[in-house]
Amino acid sequence: MTATPTARPVRAGTAWAIAAATSALLLLTACSPGTNSATTPTAATDEALAQAQQIDADAVVLVVGAHANSPEPHLSPLATAVTTEAVNASRPISVVTVSGNPRLNTDLDIGTPKDTDTTSGREALIRKSLKSVAGTITAPAESDGADLLEAIALANSSIRSRHAARPVIIVADSGLSDTGRLDMTAPGMLGADPTQTAEYLAAHHALPDLSGTTVILGGIGYTAAPQTPLDGPQRTRLATLWESVLTAAGATAVHLDQTPNTRDAVETSHTVGTVAVPAAPAVPTGCTPSTLVFDSQSQVSFAPDTTTLIDEQAARAAMAPVADWLTDNPTRTAVIRGTTADDGPLTYQKDLGLQRAQAVAVLLTGAGVVPGQLQAVGVGSNFPEFVPDRAADGTLLPGPAALNRSIRIDSDPHGTCR
């Protein structure tokens, strides 16, 4: 995440321009059919204004997810500030609508401020311009599917054609694409290693050249029905994945705009595939043998190539039902298998798997499980449920690799439970 830099002095007229923009958006919302309080845009803040001043965009493209399964796009405080700055400075603004076939719209009713404008005249012009932007970003996609990476590539091509020196791409989308080069519906992708995913896309020449471009990444991980919602850690992981991908594409800076978006999706007949969000494994009842799988998409996931849990508190919560099952009956036992992707020598894989299994055993014993009830083993990529995770050219596939990086708890493997 890029830190907010020290602000430049505020450009003349910008403070009231921000206020005018906010009131214009509020007016637009109040006049739009079917609008409720949940769609009221967030007012620009002093912090957002300072950041927009520092970014100083000379061209802005908004990449918006006005499609099924993603909340209706809106201008967050930072997006409002950057867009208003662009209007106030007569910079070009366009919109790309995310879909399976993204659409570029440059026909926005954006006025050109003049030095001779009165204060009220300039306020009216900015209101009109921001109203056009707000209306355009909520216009529904015209085709099925969602391909955010391709939409960003289209935005980048538009920027390149304008020869902008300080372009900004503002993203307002869930990030759950169902097609294209970064298809999040592929099994395992919710738990994919961000760095490895970025390297895979770069190796296959699947990234746009974003050098010189600032990206404001908003809305990532927020969903609308029928897409199953993501929890906080899953949203964070998805945002990190997109940040890594855009950084690998050469973006000068990627600002994570974490403004929540809980709106409904726009009304549309076009569909987008849903991303499967794995449910927590069901702990057995009684002495029924079973295998509980916690892969990289679960709450029991580790930082790449380490034994450090990404979210230890979430992992403890996920292990609590397992601990309850074991402590309820001292004859119950479990084998904790640490598995890995086919990445590196098998001896390394087994060692890493063992250390991760031992880390989970520590969570269980900390919850009251007797150490003798547990056996931790590391099997690396040598296990029956292994999913082939190498492409034909030998590169590691991010989705399958995430499925193979797991903790598998075999309950009552020796039939000792009574």
In a domain? residue 167: yes
In a domain? residue 280: no
- The residue written with tokens 């000068």 in the block is 252
**pLDDT score recorded for residue 364:** 98
Distance CA(363)–CA(354), nearest Å, equals 14
Residue 48: give its domain's CATH number. 3.40.50
Q: For 1-18, what is each residue's pLDDT tens digit? A: 444 333 344 454 555 555
In a domain? residue 2: no
Confidence of residue 376 (pLDDT cuts 50, 70, 90): very high
pLDDT above 80 for 378: yes
Residues 228 and 323 in one domain: no
pLDDT above 90 for 287: no
**pLDDT score recorded for residue 406:** 98
pLDDT above 80 for 184: yes
Residues 311 and 201 in one domain: no
**pLDDT score recorded for residue 10:** 42
pLDDT above 70 for 28: no
Residues 210 and 107 in one domain: yes
Inter-helix orientation angle 312-327/346-366, to 10°: 70
**pLDDT score recorded for residue 414:** 84
Residues 112 and 194 in one domain: yes
**pLDDT score recorded for residue 123:** 78
Distance CA(286)–CA(289), nearest Å, equals 9
Picking from 261, 235, 222, 216, the residue whose alpha carbon sits closest to that of residue 40 is 261
**pLDDT score recorded for residue 117:** 67
pLDDT above 50 for 29: no
In a domain? residue 416: no
Q: For 256-282, what is each residue's pLDDT tens digit? A: 999 999 999 999 999 999 999 999 999
Confidence of residue 127 (pLDDT cuts 50, 70, 90): confident
Question: What does the mean pLDDT of the chain come to?
Answer: 89
pLDDT above 90 for 192: yes
In a domain? residue 248: yes
**pLDDT score recorded for residue 44:** 65
pLDDT above 60 for 69: yes
Can you tell me the mean pLDDT for 384-410? 96
Residues 300 and 251 in one domain: no
Residues 224 and 311 in one domain: no
Q: What is the total count of domains within the chain? A: 2
Residues 300 and 183 in one domain: no
Residues 324 and 381 in one domain: yes
Residues 235 and 307 in one domain: no
**pLDDT score recorded for residue 43:** 58
Beta bridge partners of 171: 63, 217
**pLDDT score recorded for residue 7:** 37
Of 75-79, 174-178, 242-246, 382-386, where does mean pLDDT reach its minimum? 75-79
pLDDT above 50 for 352: yes
Cβ within 8 Å of residue 65, ≥6 positions away: 71, 73, 98, 146, 148, 172, 173, 174, 219
pLDDT above 70 for 23: no
Residues 203 and 351 in one domain: no
Can you tell me the mean pLDDT for 188-210? 97
Choosing from 257, 277, 301, the residue where a domain stops is: 257
Confidence of residue 25 (pLDDT cuts 50, 70, 90): very low
Q: For 221-240, what is each residue's pLDDT tens digit? A: 999 999 999 998 899 999 99
Can you tell me the mean pLDDT for 59-88? 93
- Domain of 366 in residue numbering reads as 290-411
Sign of the CA dihedral with 95 first, then 99, 103, and 108 last: negative
Of 34-38, 166-170, 256-260, 330-334, where does mean pLDDT reach its minimum? 34-38
pLDDT above 60 for 317: yes
Residues 297 and 249 in one domain: no
Say if pTM beats, i.e. exceeds, 0.75.
yes
Of 13-17, 117-121, 410-414, where does mean pLDDT reach its minimum? 13-17
